[in-house]
Amino acid sequence: MENRLKPMDAEQLREYGHKMVDFIADYYKTIENFPVLSQVEPGYLRNLLPDSAPNQPDSFQHVLDDIQAKILPGVTHWQSPNYFAYHPSNSSVAGFVGEMLSAGLNIVGFSWIASPAATELEMIVLDWLAKMLKLPEDFLSAGQGGGVIQGTASEAVLVVLLAARDKVLRRVGKDALEKLVVYASDQTHSSLQKACQVGTTSSTAVDPLLSLGKIAKSNGMWFHVDAAYAGSACVCPEFRHYMDGVEVADSFNMNAHKWFLTNFDCSALWVKDRSALVQALSTNPEYLKNKASQANMVVDYKDWQVPLGRRFRSLKLWMVLRLYGLENLQCYIRNHIKLAKHFENLIAQDPRFEVVTPRIFSLVCFRLLPVRNNESHGNKLNHQLLDAVNSTGSAFISHTVLSGKYILRFAVGAPLTEEKHVNAAWKVLQDKATSLLAESL
Amino acid sequence: MENRLKPMDAEQLREYGHKMVDFIADYYKTIENFPVLSQVEPGYLRNLLPDSAPNQPDSFQHVLDDIQAKILPGVTHWQSPNYFAYHPSNSSVAGFVGEMLSAGLNIVGFSWIASPAATELEMIVLDWLAKMLKLPEDFLSAGQGGGVIQGTASEAVLVVLLAARDKVLRRVGKDALEKLVVYASDQTHSSLQKACQVGTTSSTAVDPLLSLGKIAKSNGMWFHVDAAYAGSACVCPEFRHYMDGVEVADSFNMNAHKWFLTNFDCSALWVKDRSALVQALSTNPEYLKNKASQANMVVDYKDWQVPLGRRFRSLKLWMVLRLYGLENLQCYIRNHIKLAKHFENLIAQDPRFEVVTPRIFSLVCFRLLPVRNNESHGNKLNHQLLDAVNSTGSAFISHTVLSGKYILRFAVGAPLTEEKHVNAAWKVLQDKATSLLAESL
């Protein structure tokens, strides 16, 4: 049987790789031409693609043409400067080339020996980031703690929960399993249902960490702090105080893939007692045994996470920190917060709108005020306003419900967003509000 | 506050991207110059990098120089043609450019609306792959089933376990939780400890699926088939019979990132009853609600997995299928199996060695025969042989223990491996065996 396929030819990689770089660079040059929120109908792609895979190879140019003609219309453009929905999911040049290198080396770093650089760079870079966040020293890898990159905050909180559960059960006995309790805010992230997480995703409010931490400690509880979104802001000295109380926490988590220019996925988790993770998650099958691991000379990150396999994700975070540096990253965060403040001021100048919860970082929660105090009609009105704005394709915002009120969320945080984009989005909001209010009279 | 940082400048992306493409293409041109298994000592990188992140940006060229000088020596080269350890972890040009595009678009596809193309392409491509594997029709998305990409087989089996648990508990009542049982082979993957998985990682033996499935069905059990590694071979008609019995399975999993040219991570999971997954894993927080989801018109993959966030991983699988086509992929698999058979023949010609378990796919389990039937000394000898071969850097193999015997594993499956690499590895094995046997006399 002849082997016709040369799937990893260096010169073909060079040729296709260069073409793909140009395709992506051109995408960013034209990103404002696309509707931010994809306007396709459910099932649109099924009609555009064949029912089964081809028997014979297709040309790369055909594939690129299909991406342009068939895939991009179905993409919601998270990297658009007019994207203000959910939360930011930052791409950057540094994060992108870091992802490229990770995909290029394509190692699976489950244990130290499987690629020592993958484990060691991750430990070092998470120490760097811990210092930028002024985390207490016991979260650093030099002591009993250390950091690890998880895919998402959901996964971070899942492993923390397993570690906390096993730690308390070792103390009180396994029969107590059904008596275990998890406390979280009523505004916590939905992943609590799957794992258990503390956070305030809807409004990005900040819990009083120090008071909560003291209560947790005096009751022998594991105290986890989820700063998935807002943690990035805490590299700026003027916002660091929102993390006060982290010194009594057992674990802390921030998503570098949200608002810190590191392409998805990169959720940084630190623990003070890494042995609690290892005791809950370690496996040691014969086929993975090796001298360095058996002698306890190294960290094997497979024992800090649920899956066995893991990508070389520290590369992209390392690139972001090296290619931008702390001062630029602080400027980046401050600029978004300045833009969010600007948006808040625009709202304040229009008496038809109100800011609903105090803005702390770069998320503004606001709404069109109900006409004649009719809250139920107000909710409907804001829902209609959301749909009207998003269906223009010129901006994408999302919503939540707080204390029964339908609220609009304007999350500044895309790397390309400038003041002109915020102004343009506000203009669309005002225009659509005018139309809706006229219709509802 | 001035925003000095332009983190997503299209022309900088173009410049850095092209440089990174050339760096990676050059890496593949020279990959055989590196020791396959990294020869660094634990902690090597800590001495080479600064203690904290820089305040000011560094140049891209400095970073590339550091990758060459400091990172690559610590990499174990899974893409080397002389890599025969653990299991394959295929990179390919198609998989690589697919990863690039996924990182370039950097969307988070938790629900359909968050990027319709991400959900729809995943459904379509997993239908394609299901047809290539001749999976029964009830695994396709047109009926009650469907496919989803998980990160790893560990995650696939975790979600299946949650679905199976909740399904049986709905039938027999929640109080039965402690009575639930999971059956698996004694050679199952280590992730069973964390989730629960059926498989034979050490030797890639194949369980008698049809008999097991009938027992499972007659007892009302969920039957999961894990073909994480060997599933790829089943796109060839002559190997498809190893999957016979999958028609009685509730779920089936194969890792396209192992032996199917799709860069890590890409674990394909199919279920017959997608509602079982959704009932176990669905969350519906207000801030993610949207018309298409509320009207049940779409699939929201967040309800098929543990985390909320997910990457656009179907792009790379789609690229692999389009750019190579079924016939080439079949040739690719057959060539590796032919090379493994060739290695097996080489062993058979050297009376000092034996093949330990029957080779089915591209993994050969073998060992140096103990001298004078001293099994304990034989185990030590094979351990020494493993270390001797791996410390040359010219090939990387791994080991396991089967029935008390220390066994060497030779897994053919790297995209660049040719017959000359297999021959060279065998030569090193023979030479090192000669030295060890001489010493032990």
Partners of residue B13 in chain A, C-beta under 8 Å: 21, 24-25, 28, 93, 96
pLDDT at B187: 66
**What residues form DSSP beta bridges with B346?**
none
Q: What is the pLDDT of residue B196?
A: 45
Share of chain A above pLDDT 90, in %: 82
* Angstrom distance (rounded) from CA A162 to CA A279: 10
Query: Where are the extended beta strands (E) located within B108-184?
Result: 146-150
Going by pLDDT thresholds of 50, 70 and 90, the confidence category of residue B193 is low
- Residue of A20, A161, A301, A383 to mutate, interface with B, max B Cβ within 10 Å: A20
Q: Is the pLDDT of residue A1 over 50?
A: no
Query: Which stretches within B282-405 are classed as H helix?
Result: 291-294, 314-348, 375-392
Interface check A185 vs B, CB under 8 A: no
Q: Report pLDDT digits (tens) over A397-426.
A: 999 999 899 999 999 999 999 999 999 999
* pLDDT at B431 (0 to 100): 98
What DSSP assignment string belongs to B85-120? SSS-----HHHHHHHHHHHHH----SSGGG-HHHHH
**Tokens at A378, concatenated:** 């107000």
| Architecture of the domain delimited by A328-439 | Alpha-Beta Complex (3.90)
> Is the pLDDT reported for residue A173 higher than 90?
no
Q: Which two tokens stand for residue A398?
A: 């999302």
Distance from CA of B218 to the nearest CA of A (A): 31
Per-residue H/E/C for A122-188: HHHHHHHHHHHCCCCHHHCCCCCCEEEEECCHHHHHHHHHHHHHHHHHHHHCHHHHHHCCCCCCCCC
| CA-to-CA dists, residue A96 to A106, A261, A308, B9, B21, angstroms | 15, 9, 25, 12, 12
Tokens linked to A168: 């308390």
CA atoms within 13 A on the CB side of B217: 13
Residue A256 burial (CB count, 10 A): 28
A176 pLDDT band (50/70/90 cuts)?
confident
Q: Measuring CA to CA, which residue among B260, B245, B425 is closest to residue B328?
A: B260
Chain B residues whose beta carbon lies within 8 Å of the beta carbon of residue A154: 306-309
Q: Rounded CA gap, A281 and A164, in Å?
A: 11
The fraction of chain B above a pLDDT of 70, given in percent, is 95
Q: Is A173 in contact with A184 (CB distance < 8 Å)?
A: no
A97-101, B178-182, B190-194, B211-215: which has the minimum mean pLDDT? B190-194
ipTM value? 0.96
What percent of chain A shows pLDDT beyond 70? 95
Count of other CB atoms within 10 angstroms of residue B184: 17
pLDDT, tens only, B410-439: 999 999 999 999 999 999 999 999 999 999
**Pairing status of strand B224-226 against strand A251-255:** unpaired
Task: Round to the nearest angstrom and report the end-to-end CA distance of chain A.
Answer: 76
| Eight-state DSSP code of residue B83 | B
The 10s digit of each residue's pLDDT in B279-332 is 999 988 888 999 999 999 999 999 999 899 999 999 999 999 999 999 999 999
Residue B219: exposed, middle, or buried by beta-carbon count in 10 A (0-12, 13-18, 19+)?
exposed
Closest C-alpha to B15, from A94, A325, A81, A33:
A94
The label of the residue with tokens 């503390």 reads: A198
Q: What is the mean pLDDT of chain B?
A: 93
Interface check B287 vs A, CB under 8 A: yes
User: Which of B57, B60, B75 faces A107 most closely, judged by CB atoms?
Assistant: B75
B2 and A42 in contact by Cβ < 8 A?
Answer: no
**Among B5, B14, B229, B326, which would you mutate to test the A interface (most chain A Cβ atoms within 10 Å of its Cβ)?**
B5
A103 CA: distance to closest CA in chain B (Å): 6
Looking at the structure, give the CATH architecture of the domain made up of residues A10-77.
Answer: Up-down Bundle (1.20)
Residue B75: C-alpha distances to residues A291, A352, A357, B108 (Å): 17, 59, 49, 29
| pLDDT tens digit sequence for A141-157 | 999 999 999 999 989 99
Domains B10-77 and B107-324 share a fold: no
Q: pLDDT per residue over B205-257, tens digit each?
A: 788 898 999 999 898 899 999 999 999 999 999 999 999 999 999 999 999 99
Nearest to B8 among A20, A311, A416 (CB): A416
Are residues A99 and B99, on separate chains, in Cβ contact within 8 Å? Answer: yes
Write down the pLDDT at residue A327: 97
Write the pLDDT tens digit of every residue in A335-380. Answer: 999 999 999 999 999 999 999 999 999 999 999 999 989 999 999 9
Coil, strand or helix: which one is A361? coil
Query: Which among A368, A390, A391 has a CA at the least distance from the CA of A379?
Result: A368
What sign for the dihedral angle of Cα B208, B211, B214, B219? negative
The first and second tokens of residue B208, run together, are: 């008698």
Q: With 80 as the cut, is the pLDDT of residue B192 above it? A: no
Q: Which of residues 151-180 of A touch B (CB under 8 A)?
A: 151-152, 154-155, 158
Q: For the sheet containing B405-411, what is the strand order? A: B353-355, B363-368, B405-411, B398-402
Span B107-137, pLDDT tens digits: 999 999 999 999 999 999 999 999 999 999 9
pLDDT value at position B397? 98
Left (φ > 0), alpha (ψ -120 to 50) or beta: where does A316 sit? Answer: alpha
Nearest to A28 among B10, B97, B321 (CB): B10
Give CA–CA dist A205/A182, Å, rounded. 20
Q: Which residues of A touch B58 (CB under 8 A)?
A: 322-323, 325
Q: Residue A197: what pLDDT?
A: 36
Q: What is residue B129's three-state secondary structure?
A: helix
Q: Is B111 on the interface with A (CB under 8 A)?
A: no
Domain spanning A107-324, CATH architecture: 3-Layer(aba) Sandwich (3.40)
Among candidate residues B293, B257, B259, B260, the one with its CA nearest the CA of residue B278: B293
Q: Domain spans of chain B?
A: 10-77, 107-324, 328-439
Is A68 a residue whose pLDDT tops 60? yes
The pLDDT score that the predictor gives to residue B2 is 46
Q: ∠A409-A415-A421 over CA atoms, to 5°? A: 60
User: CA-CA distance, B261 to B327, in Å (whole number)?
Assistant: 14
State the amino acid at position B39 in one-letter form. Answer: Q
Chain B stretch 15-74, residues whose beta carbon is closer than 8 A to a beta carbon of chain A: 16-29, 37-38, 40, 42-46, 49, 51-58, 60, 62-63, 67, 70-74
The answer to whether the Cβ–Cβ distance between A53 and B306 falls below 8 Å is no
Task: Count the Cβ atoms, other than its own, within 10 Å of residue B245.
Answer: 18
Separation between Cα atoms, residue A413 and residue B288, nearest integer Å: 18
8 Å CB contact of B103 and A101: no
Among A residues 257-286, those touching chain B with beta carbons less than 8 Å apart: 257, 261, 263-265, 281, 283-286
- Other beta carbons less than 10 A from residue A361's beta carbon: 22
> Residue range B171-185: average pLDDT?
78
Tokens 């998805």 — which residue? A264
Return the half-sphere exposure (C-beta side, CA atoms, 13 A cut-off) of residue B397.
Answer: 29
Task: Evaluate if pTM is beyond 0.90.
Answer: yes
